Amino acid sequence: MDENALGPVPKGSISLLNLRGVQTDIEQLTDSLIKTVEHDQFSAIIIDPIYTLLGNKDENDNGDVKEVGNMLTRIAETTGAAVIFRSPP
């Protein structure tokens, strides 16, 4: 951010919840994430990559993808944060 003329990032303004190696799915993450951030104000929640949260869902099944979308919407509406996710190329 310093190089982009946005100024330094204030200490404590970024939180990281690293789930590398943790087996979870979107339903478990939704409840846990909401509980974790409910008392803080976040502008954005970034999920990278999204496919790790599919669990037993099929990325080619419209119903499964809609269910994941509904969970992401629930996170955004409950926390007031934008939910940003990355899917692999």
Asked whether 49 and 86 are in contact (CB, 8 A), the reply is yes
The 3-state DSSP class for residue 15 equals: coil
What's the domain count of the chain? 1
Q: Could you identify the residue written with the tokens 């590398």?
A: 20
Asked whether 89 and 48 are in contact (CB, 8 A), the reply is no
Per-residue pLDDT of the chain (89 residues; tens, 9 = 90+): 455 666 776 777 777 777 777 777 888 889 888 888 877 888 888 887 777 778 888 888 889 889 989 999 999 999 888 898 887 66
The answer to whether residue 63 sits within a structural domain is yes
pTM for this prediction: 0.75
Phi-psi region of 78 (alpha: psi -120 to 50; beta: other; left: phi over 0): alpha
The answer to whether residue 38 sits within a structural domain is yes
Identity of residue 19:
L
The answer to whether residue 32 sits within a structural domain is yes
Q: Which domain holds residue 28?
A: 16-85
